[in-house]
A and B are shown apart, each in its own frame.
Chain A
Amino acid sequence: MALPLPPGLVPTEVAFLCEMEMVTIIPRQRLESISLLSGQIPTLRPPHRAQLPLWLALLLKKQRRANIVPPSWLHPASLSEIIHHEINIDPEGFSPPPPPVTRSDGRGMARPYGDSKPGDMVLSPPFLPSCAADAPSSYLPYHWLELSETLLAHASDDIHGAAEVRTLLRDLQEVRAAKMRGSTTQLEGGGGVVGLRGVGAMELAESRGFVLGVVEGVRKLGASAEATRREEEEARSEGGEESDEDMAFG
């Protein structure tokens, strides 16, 4: 009762988790491999790209020891395509999340990333390269808002057309925030469920309290109607059973 934080993650916690996302960098200096609890950091050799967690990439960037390669979905063309999708193609829902990461198995087939043997650990986004340079363009990954803001704040010189990207991101944010508010109107007719496929972590953290509040309110208002509906259904199914039995006896 006295828990000071609301349920779910608050925006700062989401941003902290986002620092686990892998990004691609081009190192400027050699750096030996580092063993961390979260795994081995590869040896950095200057012209070769490497994938690092965001926090380490930002640290190296601040020390001018690396440049960050912006992910392909952060390109202005990709962003305007997503905005076009949000506004014109699917004005109701959110643009879909990226497809599951796959890689070739060498026999002309693709299989899920990090899922080679049955029984292996199934990996989810922080351990998948969802924000690295080889992430698919035109799809927003789960941590899109936090990651793009952080990159724009700390590595804007590495991003092509940073000013344009910034404007496009503002547009995208506004469009999606309006959809988020509108998503609760689906509950009006009754029985509707708020569809939140493709919504990012930061957007969820922002709207969680509100959406939960609306769902809870609709549930309370509909509780008695729901109870009568259940009773009717039960009565009907009992009636149905009886008629079945009658037929069996007949």
Chain B
Amino acid sequence: MSYYDLDVILTDSEKVPCKFELEVPDLGYLDNNPSQPLKAGTSVNLPLWLAELLALTHQSSTPFLTLSLPPALGDNVLNALKADPRAVPLRDQSQNFYGLGARMLDLFEEPELGVVLRRSFVVRAGEVALHGRKAGATGDAGSAEDFMRGLEEWEKKLYRQAHEGAKGHKEWMDGVKK
């Protein structure tokens, strides 16, 4: 996790649903109401970096807003992941699905979410490795394409690593005759 890590920066700008607990003047444009103050109880989607700060900053014991889990980590997605991790195109949920999940696990006490995420990551990683090894060796990319399109950033990185390893190995095996 580096300061310059693009994935971390992009994860920071994922939107999360928040509910304002205080009335804020001049912020009405967040709710498409430019001339009005932002009423307490309004729900808006804010980027994670802003929402996290506001949720953790207290002013006379009420935080500015309360966070809730983003729809990408909602019950629907989790149930689908519990049923079969391989069948869910995670990229459609969020480009940085696991990054977002890890940040949410920091903010919320959700042991079950952690278990589901870890299981999906490990199971899908096995599948990613299989495709990474096969890529370029055979021509049947058709069946894999759906799965590959559903990979999110961490998995794409894994795929690249698995493929690099297999490629280096294959190059050496082909060159050993010389």
Point out residues on A near B: beta carbons under 8 Å: 6, 10-12, 15, 149-150, 153, 177, 181-182, 184-185, 187-188, 190, 202, 205-210, 212-214, 217-218, 220-225, 228
Residues of B within 8 A of A149 (CB): 173, 176
In the complex, A210 Cα to B122 Cα: how many Å? 12
Contact partner of A209 (CB less than 8 A), chosen from B133, B162, B177, is B162
Q: Mark B153-178, 1 if CB is under 8 A from A, else 0.
A: 01001100110111011011100110
Q: Is there a chain A Cβ closer than 8 Å to B119's Cβ?
A: yes
User: Which residues between 95 and 141 of chain B lie within 8 Å of chain A, taking CB atoms?
Assistant: 98, 101-102, 105-106, 109, 111, 114-115, 117-119, 121-123, 125-126, 129-130, 132-133
Shortest distance in angstroms between A205's beta carbon and chain B's nearest beta carbon?
A: 7
Q: In the complex, are the beta carbons of B105 and A224 less than 8 A apart?
A: yes
Residues of B within 8 A of A210 (CB): 125, 129, 132, 158, 161-162, 165
Known A221-B121, A222-B118; 7 more pairs at CB < 8 Å: A11-B171, A149-B176, A209-B161, A210-B125, A210-B158, A213-B161, A217-B125
Q: In the complex, are the beta carbons of A153 and B122 less than 8 A apart?
A: no
Q: In the complex, are the beta carbons of B105 and A221 less than 8 A apart?
A: yes
Residues of A within 8 A of B106 (CB): 223-224
Point out residues on B near A: beta carbons under 8 Å: 1, 98, 101-102, 105-106, 109, 111, 114-115, 117-119, 121-123, 125-126, 129-130, 132-133, 154, 157-158, 161-162, 164-166, 168-169, 171-173, 176-177
Assuming the contacts A15-B172, A205-B165, asked whether A221 and B133 have C-beta atoms less than 8 A apart, the reply is: no
By secondary structure, the A interface counts as helix
Shortest distance in angstroms between A101's beta carbon and chain B's nearest beta carbon?
A: 27
Q: Whose C-beta in chain A lies nearest to the C-beta of B125?
A: A214
Q: In the complex, are the beta carbons of A181 and B117 less than 8 A apart?
A: no
Q: In the complex, are the beta carbons of A220 and B102 less than 8 A apart?
A: yes
In the complex, A11 Cα to B166 Cα: how many Å? 9
Contact partner of A181 (CB less than 8 A), chosen from B98, B109, B129, B161, is B129
Residues of B within 8 A of A205 (CB): 165, 168-169
Assuming the contacts A206-B165, A208-B165, asked whether A222 and B114 have C-beta atoms less than 8 A apart, the reply is: yes
Q: In the complex, are the beta carbons of A223 and B122 less than 8 A apart?
A: no
- 8 nearest interchain CB pairs? A209-B161, A210-B162, A11-B172, A206-B169, A206-B165, A11-B168, A224-B105, A188-B122
Assuming the contacts A153-B177, A223-B102, asked whether A181 and B126 have C-beta atoms less than 8 A apart, the reply is: yes
Shortest distance in angstroms between A67's beta carbon and chain B's nearest beta carbon?
A: 19
Contact partner of B165 (CB less than 8 A), chosen from A15, A150, A209, is A209
Residues of A within 8 A of B122 (CB): 184-185, 187-188, 214, 218
Q: In the complex, are the beta carbons of B158 and A202 less than 8 A apart?
A: no
